[in-house]
Chains A and B, each alone.
Chain A
Amino acid sequence: MKLFAPALVLLAGIFLCCGCSVEESQEGVSVSDSGIKRIMIDGSSTVEPIVSRIAERFEAEYNDVQVPVKVTGTGTGFREMIAGHIDIANASRPIKASEKAECEQNSIETIELKIGIDGLTIAVHPENDWVSAMTVAQLKKLWEPGSTVKTWKDLDPSWPDHQISLYGAGEESGTFDYFTEVIVGKEDSITENYSPSADDNVIATGVAGDKYAMGFFGYAYYQKNSSKLKALAISNTDSLNDAVAPTAESITSGTYVPLSRPLFIYVKKASLARPEVEDFVRFCLTTGQSSVSEAGYVAISEADLNTTKQSFDDALKSAAR
C-alpha cells in the first residue's frame, strides 16, 4: 500500500522521459514491432474454409507473416472493407453496386478475384426412390412463402401422400441468401414451414434421418455426408431431361445451373503495395488453388483461373504506377 504513490510517480516519469508521442498510424500496417507482418481478412463463412487452408500453408512458407481470418459474413466483410480496416474481403456473392459506390466514396479501390465455386446441393433421403430430379419451378412452388405444397403428392400426383419436412440454412447465412434468390426469385423470402439451422451439419443430419425430408446446403457438406444423402439433379428448364446432378465436373463447367455460384476474394488495391499481401494473393491463385477442393468446393476452370490471374497482374501494374 505504501509503495503505491512512488510507483505512480515512477510510471509517470517513465512516460515523460521516453517522450510519449502521438503519430498518425500507417494504413493497415501491423502494430506488432517484432517485425511480423499481418494480413487482415474478414467476410463470408462460406469462403473461410478455403482462405484458412491457404493461409495456413502460406504461414508455413513465410515465417514472418501472420494471416488470421475473421468470419462475420459477406455483408459485414464489405462494410469492413469500406471502413478501410481490412486487406481482403471474402465474399460468396459479387459486390453490390451500393457497396462499390461506398468504397469509391472512401477512395478504396478493390479488385475482384474468383477463387472457387460452390455448388448448392438439394438433397433427399437415400431411400427416397420416387424422385431423382426436379425443376426450378417445382422447387419454387415448394419453397416460396405461403407455399401450398404440404405433401410430396402436391408436387407430383405419382409421389407418396406424405408430408415433406424441409431443412435449410438460416437467414444469417450466405447460402440462404443465394438459395432464396435463385429458387424463390426474391432474396430473403422463404416458406414458413421449414426448419432453419445455422449449422449445415444439422441440416444434413436432419435429411439423413427422415425418409420424407428435403434440404439444401453447400456442396462441401454433401460431399462429407454423401453416403447418407441423395443429391437431386436440377433442371433450369421445364423439362426434367435437362436436369444436371451436382458433381465436380458439372459445377466447374458451369452446367449445374442455377445452383452453382462463384466465390470471391476482394483485395484492396492499396494493400497490394505491401509485398506480403501481393505474395499471399499470388499464392491463392497458384499453389493455394488445391486448397479449394480440400475445403470441399470446386476449383474454377483453367480458363477462368487465367482470367483471374490476368486481372491480378493488371491490378499490380496499376498499383505500382
Chain B
Amino acid sequence: MSTSVSEVLPTNSDEVLSVAASVNFISGSSPAMRRRLLFSRVFAWTCRLATYSALGMLVALLASIFISCAGRLSLDFVRSVNSVDPQEAGILAGLWGTFWLISLTGMMAVPLGVGSAVYLEEYAADSFLNRLIKVNLSNLAGVPSIVYGMLGLTVFVRMFDLFEKPLIISVPGLIRIPLPLGDKVLAGAMTMTLVILPIVIIASQEALRAVPSSIRMASLALGATRWQTIRHQVLPAALPGIVTGVILAISRAIGETAPLIMIGALTVARFCPAGIDSPMKLLTQPHRILQAPLDQFTAMPIEIFHWAKQPGDDFRPVAASGIVVLLMVLLLFNGIAVWIRYRASRGVRW
C-alpha cells in the first residue's frame, strides 16, 4: 500500500489531502487505524467546542447588555451629559473626552511606534542594546496599565514636582499650556500612549518582518536609497499589518479605565473639553480645538464604571447603554481599519 501512495506522490496540498482521505477510507477497517481516526475526530470536535463556547459567552454577554439597555438607549443618551437622575443621564461628556483622548493618543503613538519598528527592523544593527530593547518590548506590552498610570501621574501630571509654582506658557488668544500639565486630556493621552506603544511597535515589527527581503534587495539593487526602499516598497507592503496592530491597540486604549483614574480624570462631569459638544463646533469655533487637549475631561469607561456602582438597579440600563455606545465606537474604529486594510492591500503589486 505504501508503494501505491509514493507512486502517485502529490504536488500540491489539496492533492495531499484528497490522497490522505482516500488512504484513510481504504484502511479504516484496521482497529489501530480506527482508533487513530476516532482520536483525530475527537480532537477536531474539541477545537470546535472551544471556538463555539467562546462565541457563546460573547453572545450571552452581548444579549444581556442589549436587553438591559432596551428602552434607555436613545439618541438623547448620546446628546446629553451625565446626571444623578437615571432618566436624564447621558454619555456626551465621556464621548467627547474619549474622542480627544484617543485622537491625541493615536497622533502620538502611531508615529513613535511605527518609527521605532522601522528603526528596529530596517536600520538597527544586531547590538547588545538593540537586542535588549527587542526583548523588553514584549515584557512592556504585558505590564498592567495601572503601572503606566502611576508613571503618567509622576511624569506628566506632576512633572516630578519640579515646578514649585505652577506656570502657564501662553500665546494670547490661542493656547495656554499649564506646567506641570495636571489632570488634562494631554496628560491622559501621553499616559495612554505609554500603555499602547509596545503593542504598536510589536505589531508593526511583525508586519515589517513579513515583507520578503527579496523586495528590499531588488529595490536597493535598482539604485533606490534606503529611505526610498522603505517609503515606496516596505511600508506600503506592511501597511495592512501595521493598521491592524494600531487598531487593536487603540481599541484597548478606549476601554482602559485604571490609568485614567490614576492620573485624575474627572468622575462626574457635565461638560465636554473646551465646551465642544457637537461636531459642528469643531468647524464654527476652531480656536477651541487647541484648548480641548488642555482641559479636564472624563471618559466613557469611567462614566460606565461610575453608573455600574450606583446603589440599586436604577442605573443598570444607563450603564448598559454606555457599554453599547462604547461597543459601537469600537466597531466604528474596526470598520475604518478594515477599509484601510482593503485600500492598502489593493495597492500592493509584486
Determine if B75 is an interface residue (Cβ-Cβ < 8 Å): no
Most chain A beta carbons < 10 A, residue from B167, B170, B182, B306: B170
Check if A68 sits within 8 Å of B298, measured CB to CB.
yes
B271 & A22 in contact (Cβ 8 Å cutoff)? no
- B170 near A21 with CB under 8 A, answer yes
User: Most A CB atoms within 10 A — which of B171, B172, B291, B311?
Assistant: B311
A18 touching B311, Cβ below 8 Å: no
Cβ-defined contact, A70 with B264, below 8 A: yes
Interface assignment of B166: CB less than 8 Å from any CB of chain A: yes
Using Cβ atoms and an 8 Å threshold, which residues of chain A touch B182?
85
Taken together as a complex, chains A and B put the C-alpha atoms of A255 and B216 apart, in Å, by 83
Judged by a CB distance under 8 angstroms, whether A131 is at the interface is no
Which residue of the partner chain, among B178, B291, B311, contacts A25 with CB atoms under 8 Å?
B178
When distances are taken between beta carbons in the complex, the residues of chain A under 8 Å from B312 are 201, 221, 224-225
Taken together as a complex, chains A and B put the C-alpha atoms of A52 and B85 apart, in Å, by 11
- B274 in the interface, Cβ–Cβ < 8 Å? yes
Give the most central of B165, B172, B174, B296: most A CB within 10 Å: B296
Interface membership of chain B positions 111-135, coded 1 if the CB is closer than 8 angstroms to chain A and 0 otherwise: 0000000000000000000000000
Q: How many residues of A contact B (CB 8 A)?
A: 42
| Chain A contacts for B174, CB-based, 8 A | 14, 18
B24 at the interface (CB under 8 A from A): no
- Distance in Å: Cβ of A23 to nearest Cβ of chain B: 5
Nearest Cβ on chain B to A269's Cβ, whole angstroms: 20
Decide if A220 is an interface residue (CB 8 Å cutoff): yes
Across the interface, do A68 and B167 meet the contact criterion of CB distance under 8 Å? no
A128 CB → nearest B CB, Å = 22
Give per-residue flags for A38-53: 1 if the beta carbon is below 8 A from chain B beta carbons, else 0.
1000000000110011
Q: Tell me if B168 and A23 are in contact (CB < 8 A).
A: yes
Residues facing B in A7-32 (CB within 8 A) are 14-15, 18-25, 31-32
- Give the shortest distance, in Å, between A147 (CB) and chain B (any CB): 28
B275 close to A34 (CB less than 8 A): yes
Q: How far is the CA of A18 from the CA of B173 in the complex (A)?
A: 9
- 5 interchain residue pairs of minimum CB distance: A224-B312, A68-B269, A71-B267, A68-B266, A69-B268
Given A55-B268, A68-B267, 11 additional A-B pairs, CB 8 A? A18-B173, A18-B174, A19-B172, A21-B170, A24-B168, A32-B274, A33-B176, A38-B296, A72-B264, A85-B182, A201-B311
Q: Which residues of A contact B (CB under 8 A)?
A: 14-15, 18-25, 31-34, 36, 38, 48-49, 52-53, 55-56, 59, 66, 68-72, 85, 198-201, 218, 220-221, 224-225, 294-296
List 13 contacting pairs A-B, 8 Å CB cutoff, sorted by A.
A18-B171, A19-B171, A21-B170, A22-B170, A24-B165, A25-B167, A52-B84, A56-B83, A68-B298, A70-B264, A71-B306, A199-B308, A221-B312
